Amino acid sequence: MNDKSIKTRIEMALLKFFRHRYFKTGVKIVLISGLVFCALFLFNNFSRFAKNGVAVNLSNTLFFKEGKSGVPRILPLKIPDRTTSLVSFRHDPTAYYGNAPPYEQIANPAYQLVWRAIEDLGLGSASSPLAGFVNSSDTVLIKPNLLGEKQGMYTHPSIVRPLIDMCVRAGAKVILVGDGGPGYTGTEAVMRETGYKDMVEKLRDVYPGVLIRTVNLNDPRAWHWVNTGKASMFYGSGYTDEDLADAMGHSLSHSPYYARKDPQGKSPAGRVMGWYAISDYVLNATVIINVAKMKCHDYMINTLCLKNNVGVTLSSTIPEIEVATWRIPHVKSRQDFDPSQYETNFGNDIFWRAIADVNRIVLYADRNGILKEKKQRRCLNVIDAIEASEVNQYGTGMGGGKIYRGQVLFAGLDPVAVDSVASRFMGFNWKRIPVIAKASSVPEGKREAKSYTLGRSDPSCIRITGDIMDSRFNHIFEHSSNWHQYVEKERLDIIDFDPPAVHSVEAKATGDRITITCHITGASVAFLYYEVFGEGYAKKMQKKGSIYTAVIPKTDLDYIIQAQDIYFNTVRTPLYHISSD
């Protein structure tokens, strides 16, 4: 057989192959697959078409970025909105705690979640989220919740580690980590058993030029008596020192706690109302990062950022006695006290006042414990809800506490706003939780207290950023047996987890302005986010019934609408584009 014959046979075989139905079918499959791939690529990289028919590539915008669900998420604004309190809500179903100190990023799945939550607040940059909040002259106190060493009882050090790294990047030279837990020796034991001491010890080698150490806020050598006086939430309430009791209903006026002198020689001489023993580590700090643990609470329904600051008071002013229930009034004194009484939880008119007083001290007291009109330190609030405690504040420690894997994190400068939004995640109506609903209020006639504001709980003045709080998050935390019988009467549990509905969005140009009009039902507030020449803006929209409007400059811009209801259920529209042509 010659070469020509072989070549002819090969050509005939190839021709037969290309004409075969299997080949034709294969080609069709390849073409269809290619078209599907292209369609998916375009879908994932372009938003909806705006009315002018121009598609917007989300990856090219500066402060909008496409989230995992395809819905735009909002990056920090170039120009922050000062009229509302900003709360970052971050969820990651893969987030869990690192296993061993010092909880490096590579071995700490919760690390990036913390980083993103703080970045959302716009206090710095992506590489240094606290660059505009912390500086080299600051003394930073990071205050976790260290109630105990059992799972769910304490803020995990995996959450604190990235905060330390952020502070160092921002230039901090002094970083203290500590709490005033169950007594001095008890707090030392919790810090050791939960990994805090090991983490801080290892970080000294990582950051040799920075003073990083654990501190005990129960230190009997370093504290001040602070008297809130007429600024106290007890002032003018009608209560007396005899009325203020510890967690078991015993009057604190008979406790030796309030007869003790502080290291400066000051003593309330048995007076209770408005007097608090505050750690010097708190008073000397210029920045406090309050890192709470999400938990139910036997008395206060839940314990979040506001409640976590109870730990800035000394567990005991008497070194020989370690008692945690004397530090702050819990309930009204009574002989027939029972922890399941209505006056202990929903009807508790004592505990929230004391918590509000302590939070005012944290914000407004100078290093000598004197309340000033201006805030004396910068405070950032974070809630660790990677794991949370249902039923009570003890996790797996005692009393039937249960662990709920929330895999979320909250952050913000306003503790009242952060607690309000976090309560929604727990399935609780913040209006029914005394400390959140009342802490920011000022009773009529209390002129002295009006300047000591703590934050906002009004849903129309709180803006959620980061991820979307929607019907996916519909778990209701299991109740404490102390107050379960009152839940239905108090309407604590949220029954509506559906976000508002955005029915239409229209843009109309008039002169050099554009009016954005939205028809939204079920909302209490709507925000317009827009970007002009690389600068991000947020604007609360005017509300008239179910119609929301906002007027913005006429120029090329991208925008989205975010609507929230009274429970902070949130919806965010796709990205729209306006052309000035």
Task: Clarify whether residues 205 and 157 are in a common domain.
Answer: yes
Task: Clarify whether residues 130 and 189 are in a common domain.
Answer: yes
pLDDT digits 0-9 by tens, 198-236: 999 999 999 999 999 999 999 999 999 999 999 999 999
pLDDT above 90 covers a percentage of the chain that reads 77
- Choose from 32-36, 69-73, 358-362 the range with maximum mean pLDDT: 358-362
Domain final residue, candidates 490, 520, 541? 490
Residue 276 corresponds to which tokens in the numbers above? 């608090």
Contact in structure between 518 and 60 (CB atoms under 8 Å) = no
Residue 287 corresponds to which tokens in the numbers above? 């920045």
Pairing state between β 542-544 and 547-553: antiparallel
Instruction: Please spell the DSSP secondary structure of 254-314, one letter per residue.
Output: G-GGGG---TTS---TT--TTEEEEEHHHHT-SEEEEEEEEEEETTTEEESHHHHGGGGB-
Task: Clarify whether residues 546 and 453 are in a common domain.
Answer: no
Torsion sign over Cα 59, 62, 65, 71: negative
Q: Which amino acid is at 42?
A: L
Q: Is residue 522 included in any domain, yes or no?
A: yes
pLDDT of 364 higher than 50 = yes
Overall average pLDDT of the 185-199 stretch: 97
Task: Clarify whether residues 308 and 259 are in a common domain.
Answer: yes
Residue-level pLDDT at 565: 98
Overall average pLDDT of the 309-320 stretch: 94
Q: How confident is the model at residue 14 (pLDDT cuts 50, 70, 90)?
A: low
Query: Which of 319 and 570 is assigned the larger pLDDT?
Result: 570
Q: Is residue 127 included in any domain, yes or no?
A: yes
Q: What is the CATH number of the domain that holds 62?
A: 2.60.40.10
Overall average pLDDT of the 73-86 stretch: 67
| Closest among 376, 379, 361 to 418, alpha carbons compared | 379
Spell out the SS3 assignment of 249-264: CCEHHHCHHHHCCCCC
Tell me the whole-structure pTM to 2 decimals: 0.87
Domain final residue, candidates 466, 490, 514? 490
Work out the mean pLDDT of the chain and round it to a whole number. Answer: 88
pLDDT digits 0-9 by tens, 158-167: 999 999 999 9
Task: Clarify whether residues 7 and 151 are in a common domain.
Answer: no
Contact in structure between 379 and 62 (CB atoms under 8 Å) = no
Alpha-carbon gap, residue 47 to 224, rounded angstroms = 57
Q: Is residue 295 included in any domain, yes or no?
A: yes
94 Cβ contact partners less than 8 Å away, ≥ 6 residues apart: 109, 407
Domain final residue, candidates 464, 490, 516? 490
Q: Which amino acid is at 54?
A: V
Q: 83 is in which domain, residue-wise?
A: 76-490
Alpha-carbon gap, residue 150 to 569, rounded angstroms = 32
Q: Is residue 50 included in any domain, yes or no?
A: no
Which letter does DSSP use for residue 243 in this model?
Answer: G
Q: Is residue 52 included in any domain, yes or no?
A: no
- Choose from 78-82, 183-187, 258-262 the range with maximum mean pLDDT: 258-262
Task: Clarify whether residues 277 and 221 are in a common domain.
Answer: yes
pLDDT digits 0-9 by tens, 419-470: 999 999 999 999 999 999 998 776 545 555 567 899 999 999 999 999 999 9
Pairing state between β 211-216 and 174-179: parallel
Contact in structure between 329 and 245 (CB atoms under 8 Å) = yes
Other Cβ atoms less than 10 A from the Cβ of 522: the count is 17
Task: Clarify whether residues 27 and 84 are in a common domain.
Answer: no
Q: Is residue 51 included in any domain, yes or no?
A: no
> Which runs of consecutive H residues, i.e. helices, occur in 277-429?
280-283, 305-308, 351-364, 415-425
Task: Clarify whether residues 418 and 530 are in a common domain.
Answer: no
User: What's the total number of domains in the chain?
Assistant: 3
Q: Is residue 187 included in any domain, yes or no?
A: yes
Q: Which amino acid is at 52?
A: N
Cα Rg of the chain (Å, integer):
28
The mean-pLDDT minimum among 37-46, 253-262, 440-449 falls in: 37-46
Task: Clarify whether residues 508 and 484 are in a common domain.
Answer: no
**41 burial level (CB within 10 Å; 0-12, 13-18, 19+):** exposed
Task: Clarify whether residues 63 and 84 are in a common domain.
Answer: no
Contact in structure between 113 and 148 (CB atoms under 8 Å) = no
Residue 542 corresponds to which tokens in the numbers above? 């005017």
The H or E element containing residue 484 is: none
Residue 165 corresponds to which tokens in the numbers above? 């790294």
Alpha-carbon gap, residue 168 to 161, rounded angstroms = 11
Task: Clarify whether residues 159 and 39 are in a common domain.
Answer: no
Q: Is residue 53 included in any domain, yes or no?
A: no
Torsion sign over Cα 144, 149, 152, 158: positive
pLDDT of 489 higher than 90 = yes
Residue 72 corresponds to which tokens in the numbers above? 């735009």
Task: Clarify whether residues 32 and 82 are in a common domain.
Answer: no
Overall average pLDDT of the 468-489 stretch: 97
Residue-level pLDDT at 58: 28
